[in-house]
Amino acid sequence: MEENIVEPEKKSNGAFIGLVIIIIILIVGGIYIWMSNKNAVKPIPTTQEQSTALTDQDSAVLDALEQELNATDTDIDVNVNSIN
């Protein structure tokens, strides 16, 4: 008579170790990207800095736009029958 002796199964931790390594890589990569973007963010200029940044060319363009706006006919009460 042969006795059926079942050997205990050996559990493999390979999948668990791989998962832990992937999670660590993702965390390190996320921290690296976060820190590199943190250094790249420039502060928003204050109102005083914005006003000094206006150049002569910018003011000339703004003046031309304002003149064009003033010259535009914006009369919305035009009679439709008078157009024909």
Cα distance between residue 12 and residue 18, in whole Å: 11
Instruction: Please provide the DSSP assignment of 7-66 as one string.
Output: PPPPPP-HHHHHHHHHHHHHHHHHHHHHHHHHHHPPPPP-HHHHHHT--HHHHHHHHHHH
pLDDT for residue 58: 79
Is the overall model pTM greater than 0.75, yes or no? no
How is the chain split into domains, by residue range? 14-38
Nearest to 31 by CA among 42, 39, 21: 39
pLDDT of residue 31: 94
Cα 33-36-40 angle, rounded to 5 deg: 135
- List average pLDDT for each run of 10 residues in the chain, which is 84 residues long: 70 88 97 84 64 69 88 72 64
